[in-house]
Structure formats: structure tokens, C-alpha cells
Structure 1
Amino acid sequence: MGCWVKLKSSNWAFPTAVLSLYGFFANCRIAEPFLAPYLIGPYKNISEEVVTNYLFPIWTYSYLAFLFPVFLLTDFLRHKPLIVIQALFLVSNYVLLCFAPGLLAMVFLEIHYAVVTATEVAYFSYIYSTIPHENYQRATGYLRSAMLFGYTSGAGLGQVLISLAGLNYFYLNAITLGVVSVAFLISFWLPMPQGSMFFKGRKTASLGRQSQQVVPGKTDRPDETALDEEGASSGKQKMECDDDAGWCSRKNVFSAGHLLWQSFRESYSSRHLIYWSLWWALATAGYTQIVNYIQLMWNHIEPSASSSVYNGGVESACSLVGAAAAFSVGYIKVNWSVWGELALGSFSAIGAGAVFLTGLTSNIWACYAGYALFKSCYMLLITITTFQIAANLSMECYALTFGINTFVALSLQTIMTLIFVDGATLGLDIVTQFIIYGIYHALISVLFLIRGTYTVCTKRSTPEPPDNLPKERKDPVQVIHDTPF
């Protein structure tokens, strides 16, 4: 009991611990690696063509529709309500999977899941509005580790229950319903942030940034530190009341828009940041498309109705291999400003080859290996990219950059879905789709190989000019991305 009180009294440990616990249970989705066999099999009895060309595209379109409004609402409502909504829709997602029959129910399922993925921005940005700046790196590492451990544990447990215990897919979904229900209950434990970055808590965020820039002993307003550290002080309560009173005023909205514009300009203030963000958006669009449809490729090669399914084991192993690849980034001594773009092009080429292998092989184990190699390359590169962007931006700008890059990636993914996947247009079969995804990643690799070669030749032949980007940054944060966010 004493340890719990001590944890709750900490200004960063308690929200970090609760959010990490939530992240574990929310991502421990035991049945997720077996979604396609469950929909195509006798439980839902939906054809592979309908799942590929009609059902899955609904998620992409809905996700795009929800992403930008959710991004603004996340900051406006101060994060916690959106996390609670995410957990609620996770629960309703598995209620539909377990108990709702028919294609129409699965359409609602895809829309519900779009809400879940769109609200992930609240999970990623909540902690930065709650804890002190000096704890960002440690908290981020804990949150990413919790998500990865939850996903790996869920996928591995699902495979054990299928292969050893002989459970069918319905019981996997029922167990997952219980797990995400625990996440829903945990979400209520999260403390409500005192302010937001752009809207109601804009003044609070500004004070926090000003207090970091003031030299100790030289400030004209010493009470600002007390306002940041003591949320119950009368000064802060008055400030929050003033903010609440004018939350919908034209001045408040204009100020929030002005701050968003300033953050946008900082986020894309140099070519270096623009190129890294471009790779992020291009590669994430292709990665998300492949992750979404890989189960259908596996089912095409080895139909689940007539063979053993190892989706959970493969996903669990891929996460661990990808985590090891991403973890190694923190120990690689490379001048990324010189060699980074060439690395993006080189590993993108390996990933493109892996996608071609996945799409062209008729051997399920070769398909598994290709997918593992592709996912490892992406996790390695997205970790490098994330750090290169975050190391040169303030956290407020990083959150905005994260949202914009994700929106661009999702827009590209929507275009690919609309042209190649949707039954109303080309409606290509799953093999042809993966060949196109391989060509797409090959083009990305060529683009960055050319750009990287030019950068290496230019910077090695001429002295590097002084960088005007912020210098005061921490060591790389071990960031693992397994979703569009």
C-alpha cells in the first residue's frame, strides 16, 4: 500500500505506469493474427474476395476520415477521454466479432477499428502533456516496450492456444474481449492532464517552455516554477478557469491556430527534416498496406481450412526480430546526416526484395521469411527516422509532425486501396497486389539511393556548414512502431 501511495505521488511514475499497463492490455490481442481465417472460415463465412476487395478497404477510408478530427480533439479534450474512447471501441470491436453475425456487422467492425487506430495519437501524446520534460525519454521507452510486449505476448499466446490447446477462433476472440475489457477499466485510472499543447492548456505549455529557457535566479516571475510543479496552487486554478471561460472564443481559437502554424513551420524547417518525413510517409503507407493484407496472402498460399495456421507465432517472432533490429540503432555509431538517406535507400531495397518474395513464392515458410525480413527492415528504418526527426524538434512540434506524416501516409494508402484493392475499381487479387507493393517499395529505394549517394558525395567533398537546428537533445529513444502510429 505504501509503495502504491509513493508511486501515485510521483509527478511522472504513476501516469507512466498506468499508461504502460493500459498499453500492454490494449495491444495483447490474442485473436488479431487470426482475423482473416476467422472471417473467411465457417464462423463468419465471408468469401476471401469480399474480405479483400470490400471489407478491409472500409477500415482505410474510415481511418482517413477520423484521423484529422481526432488529432484536434485529442489536444482539445486533453487526451484522456480519447484513450477511454479507444478502449471502449476495442471492447465493442470484439463484441461484434464474437456475437454479431452477417456482413453488415463486419462493416461496423471495420469502422470501429478505424476509431481505435485513429485514437492511437492520444496514447502516444498523452504522456508528454502529463510528465516533466526531463522524463520524456524514459517514459517513451517504457510505453513502447509495453506495447511491444503486449503485442508479442498476445500473438504468441494465441499461437499456443491454437496449436497446443486446440482452441478454435471463437474462443480466442472471447479471451481477447476479456483482455481489452481490462484495458478499458485501466483507462479510467489515468490522471487528467492539467492542460493541452494548443487549445485550453496553451498558456500552461507556454509557461513550461519559458521556465526551461529562464536562467535560474534570473527570472522575473519565480512563481511560474511553482505553477508547473504544483497543480493545486491557486494561481494555476485561476489560469485554468480563465482558459475554460474562453475555450470557444475567437481569440483562443486564433491563438491555437497560430501556434499550430508556428509548430508546422518548425517541423519542416529544413531539407533534412523534409526528406526524413518523406520516407516516413511513403514507407509507412506501403508497410501498413502489407501488414493489413498479409493474412490474406498466407491464407491464399495455405488455406486455413485445410492446413495448420502459424500466424500468431510468425507475428510474435517478427516483433521480436524487429525489436532487436530497432534496439541496435542506439548502439550504431553512424553520422546519420551523411549516411542516413543512403541507409534508407539500401534497406528499402532489401525490403522491396522481401515483398517480391512474399508475393511470388508458393511456399508458406518462404512467405513467412519474406514478411519477417520486410518488417525488420521497416522497424529498423522507422526507428532511425523517428529519432532523426524528434532529435531536432521540440516535443510539441514532434507531435504535430507525427500527425501530419501519418496523415500523408494514410492518404497514400487510401489511394492505393482505392485503385488496386477496392472492388469498385481494379479489385486485384492478393498476389498481384503484393507484386505492386514490391514495385512501390523498389521505387522508394531508388529515390533514396539516388538522394543518399548525392548527399554522401556532397558532404564528404565539402565541409559541413554549421547546423542551425537545436543542439540540446538526448540520446536516441528506442522507438518501436508496429502500427501506422
Structure 2
Amino acid sequence: MEALGRWRADWRYPTALLCIYGFFSTVKPLEPFLTLYLTGPDKNLTTEQVNNQIFPVWTYSYLSVLVPVFLLTDWLRYKPVVVFQAATLLVTTATLLWLRSVAAMQAMQFFYGVVTASEVAYFSYIYSVVDPKRYRKATSYSRSVQLLGYTVGSVLGQLLLSLELMSFNGILALTLALTAAALLASCLLPMPRRSMFFHRGAPAEGKGPQAEGLEEPDGGRRCSQALLQLWRDFRQCYSSRRLLYWSVWWAMATCGYNQTTNYVQVLWEHVQPSQNFSMYNGGVEAVSNLLGAATAYGIGFTEVRWEQWGELALGGFSGLGAGALFLMTFTGSIWVCYTGYVVFKCLYMLLITIAMYQIAADLSMERYALVFGANNFGALALQTVITSVVVDSGGLGLSIIPQFTVYASYFAVIAVVFSLRGLFTIWRSNKSHDSTSAVKEEPPDSEEHRF
């Protein structure tokens, strides 16, 4: 019992439970085949219903709950929101399995938007229960295990369908069991005693009823102070021009990336209808995840002055991403379309890793979480505008080829803007370097030096 107590008090206990939760909650074998499932005999929906009426709901849901969930996550100290995320994921899977109508699938997308918004609790929890010196390891474990879960889910789904070992509904039943395991792991997580904004200090032990009564009217004041501190931190972070430029790219590129990954299955179905072809969506997602992770990992070993060359890299590689999207849009070969998707995803993973590193370099962990959330909110706001105008049946309601033409053009604009900005940054840096060198080389008794 004593050994068990020491293990529960150690940083590895909450980290291990969070990793177990992260793995089981991200193994989703059906996800690469969701469009195929919705338009098949199980749900019997049309591609237009899926593309223009059902999928847009996720974006609207995510945006509407992101800020409240962010604040509640810190106020409730993470664990309740992690448990809520697991329970909502269970409801999402059950809705997808047992209900059939367009309205039911829209409700499913709404629940999934809540699940996505609640990820902030997963990524923030670990910083409240481990020592700062363990942040790097704990973050590495919790993020890596999610990638492993997505990859295992994609490969598992591909094998189960290709080998005809399980039906779509059978795969969803398996996913329900995995989600239940994630829910159990979330319930076992230790409750943090502090948070980043609302509960900065650990509560005192052994408080009497009178002390507790004094704290209750103090809650409103502490809340207002926390919100004011949040606003001050926000303003101070974005007062840095370099951080602002990197954050603008983050928001714009993440918006385009999310739109692409959300609707790429519809594009694949258009390029090669599933009734005429054995789909390999799961294998493609697994390969893109692994290569994307390898690319992101490899960037840590490159010696590049990103503060000088980074913006040009953002522009240049965004241009390659735009080229991959144009190729995916206008090709008639599913394999070329698959390859373009893998290239596009690897480029995004490469660049977002550089952006995260550059932004986090000069920030405390608390402020990094704030900037991370603000940048994602900006991406989501842009995504909502694009969805409502381009995709939603209440807007233009474009079919899949015009949609991807818009996404490719969008990345081309990003490429031009940041390439020009990158060239200006390099020119200014070289000019500053030349001026400094000239001053250093000037003789001490020259006229220019004396005056």
C-alpha cells in the first residue's frame, strides 16, 4: 500500500493515466471512412447533404463553445472538463451508430465540436499536476500518444474493412468500447489543486467553516481579477510584432488545413467513387500522420536562423502546399490525389512545428497556453466565415471541386503574403548587419567617427 501511495504521488501516475486516456480517445477506426459510411446504405445520405448540411455544423459548434469551455476548463481545474469530453465523445459515437436522419447527424457533429473544444483541458491538465522540470517529458508523452492513437485507428479501420473482418456498425461498436475505457481513465485522474488563472495557488489545508464562508463572497473578486490578468497577458503577448506575424500565419494556415482535412474524403469520393474502387483512406491517413510526425521531429535537428528565414519558409512551403492542393483538385487519379494530400499534410506539420517553437521560445507555459488558444480561436473564426460563405447550403453551397479550388487559392495568397514579408525581413536584417559592420570597421580618428 505504501508503494502504491508513492506511485500515485509521483508525476508518472497522472501522466500515465492521461496518456491512456489520450490513446483510447483517439483510436477512431471509422474516421477515415466517415463520408463513405454516411453516404452508404447504413445512413443513406447524399453527398450534398453530408458536404453542405452536416459537416459545417462542426465548425459552428466548435466556435460557439470554445471560449466558454476555455474559461470553464481553468475555473473547474481541468479534470471535470476531461471527463466531460470523454462522456461527450461517447454520446457522439452512440449518435453516429444508432440514429440516421440529417438532423441526427447534425447533432452528432455538434457534440463532436464540443469534444474538439474540450481538448484544451487535455493539453493543459498536465501542467497543473507535475513539476515544471517535468513539463517537457510529460508534454512529449501526452502529445505523442495521441498521434499513436490516430495512427492505430487509421490502420485498424483500413485492415478491418479491407479484409472484411467487421462491418461499419461493428467498427462503431468497437469504438464505443474504446471510448468507455477512455472515460474510465479520465475518472481516475487526480484532481489538480491549482490552475493557470483562477486557482494560481494551492488551497490551504484545514480551513474552518468561517474561513470557507469568507471565501465565498471573495469568489467574484477573484474571478474578475483572473479575467483582468488574462486580458493583460493577452495584450502583452501580442505586443511583440514577431509573435504577431507568426500567430497570423498560424491562424490562417490552420484554418485552411482544417477545411482541407474536413472535406478531403468528399474529394476522394468524387475522384474515385468507392463502388468502383477499394478505398485506402485509412492507410493514407496513417502514412500522412507518421511522415508528418517524422518531418516535425526532424526540424528539431536543423540549424536554421528561423527568426531571419522563418517567414520566407512559411511563404515558400505554403506555396508548395497550394500546389499540392491544386494537384489534388484537378487530377483524375486517386493515387495522385492521395500523394498530394500526404505532401500537403507533411508541409503543414513542418511549418506549424516551426511556428510553435518560435512562439513558445519567449513565453512562459501559462502564456503559451493562452496564445495557443487565441491562435486557434482566430483560425476557427476564419474557418467559420469560409464555411458559411463557401460550403454551407445557406451560402454559396459550392460542390467539392470549386471548394478545393478556393482552398488552394487561399494557400496561394498566404504564400505570396509571407514570401514578400520574408524577403523584406531578410533585406532588413542584411542591411542592419552591413550598417553594424561599417561602424565597427570605421577608424577611430575618422571625421564620421568623431561627429
TM bucket, shorter chain: over 0.9
Equivalent in the alignment of 1:193: 192
Are the structure 2 counterparts of residues 171 and 274 from structure 1 closer, same or farther at C-alpha, using a change threshold of 3 Å? same
Do the aligned partners of residues 104 and 143 (structure 1) sit closer, same or farther apart at CA in structure 2, a change above 3 Å counting? Answer: same
The alpha-carbon deviation at position 234 of structure 1 amounts to: 5.0
Equivalent residue number for residue 374 of structure 2: 404
Q: Which runs of 5+ in 2 are unaligned?
A: 436-451
Equivalent in the alignment of 1:245? 216
Are residues 303 and 447 of structure 1, via their aligned partners in 2, closer, same or farther at CA, if it must alter by over 3 Å?
Answer: same
> Closer, same or farther in 2 for the Cα pair 1:311/1:254, shift >3 Å?
same
1:188 is paired with a residue of what secondary structure? helix
> What code does the residue aligned with 1:322 have?
G
Distance 1:34 1:404 in 2: 31
Quickly say closer, same or farther: Cα 1:423–1:14, change in 2 above 3 A: same
What corresponds to 2:332 in structure 1? 362
Q: CA RMSD in A?
A: 2.1
1:9 maps to 2:9 = yes
DSSP 3-state at the match of 1:197: coil
Match of 2:243 in 1: 273
Is the CA contact 2:237–2:367 (under 8 Å) kept in the aligned structure 1? Answer: yes
Structure holding more helix per residue: 2
Corresponding residue for residue 95 of structure 1: 94
- Asked whether the equivalents of residues 29 and 180 of structure 1 are also in contact (C-alpha less than 8 Å), the reply is no
The SS at the match of 2:332 is coil
Aligned AA (2:22): G
Alignment counterpart, residue 439 of structure 1, candidates 409, 420, 425 = 409
Give the match's secondary structure for 1:37: helix
Q: Is the 8 A contact 2:30 2:171 kept in 1?
A: yes
**Which residue does 2:148 correspond to in 1?**
149
Question: Structure 1: 5+ residue runs without aligned partners?
Answer: 205-227, 466-485
State how far apart, in whole Å, the 1-side matches of 2:2 and 2:287 are.
39
Aligned residues: 435
Q: Match for 2:90: what amino acid?
A: V
Shift of 1:459: 1.1
Query: Contact 2:292–2:349 at 8 Å: present in 1 too?
Result: yes
Q: CA deviation at 1:166?
A: 3.9
Q: Which residue of 2 aligns with 1:170?
A: 169
CA distance in 2, matches of 1:135, 1:457: 40
Once the two structures are superposed, residues 148-194 of structure 1 have per-residue CA deviations (whole angstroms, 9 ceiling, x without a partner) of 00000110111011112442211111111111111011100111110
**TM-score normalised according to structure 2 size:** 0.92
Shift of 1:233: 5.1
Distance of 2:434 and 2:4 partners within structure 1: 52
Query: Which shifted more, 265-274 or 348-357?
Result: 265-274
Distance (whole Å) between structure 2 residues aligned to residue 337 and residue 164 of structure 1 = 49
Q: Where in structure 2 are the equivalents of 1:313-332 lying within 5 Å?
A: 313-332=283-302
What SS does the corresponding residue of 1:53 show, helix, strand or coil?
helix
- Is this contact kept in 2: 1:266–1:397, CA < 8 A? no
Aligned partners of 2:49 and 2:102 also within 8 Å: no
- Residues 126 and 138 in structure 2, CA contact (< 8 A), matched pair in contact too: yes
* Structure 1 residue 241: Cα displacement: 4.9
Aligned to 1:220: none
For 2:295, the aligned partner's letter is A
Counterpart AA for 2:255: A
Give the one of 265, 277, 301 matched to 1:295: 265
Query: What do residues 19-59 of structure 1 show as CA deviations (whole Å, max 9, x unaligned)?
Result: 11110111111111111100010000000001101111111
Quick one: distance in 2 between partners of 1:262 and 1:311?
45
CA contact (8 A) 2:87 2:183 kept: yes
CA contact (8 A) 2:288 2:345 kept: yes
Q: What letter matches 2:402 in structure 1?
A: T
Q: Report the CA distance shift for 1:245/1:36 in structure 2 as closer, same or farther (over 3 A).
A: same
1:40 & 1:436 partners in 2: Cα distance?
Answer: 24
CA shift, 1:246, in A, is 4.1
Give me the identity figure in percent. Answer: 48
Q: In structure 2, what is the Cα distance between the partners aligned to 1:64 and 1:422?
A: 15
**Distance apart, 1:101 and its partner CA:** 2.2
Partner residue of 1:159?
A: 158
| CA distance in structure 2 between the partners assigned to 1:303 and 1:177 by the alignment | 28
> By how many angstroms is 1:239 displaced?
13
1:232 offset after TM fit, Å? 7.8
State the AA in 2 paired with 1:57: P
Give TM-score, length-normalised by structure 1: 0.86
- Distance change >3 Å, CA 28–CA 2, structure 1 → 2: farther
Per the alignment, in what secondary structure is the counterpart of residue 274 of structure 2? Answer: coil
Once the two structures are superposed, residues 276-327 of structure 1 have per-residue CA deviations (whole angstroms, 9 ceiling, x without a partner) of 1000000000000000001111111122233211111100010000000000
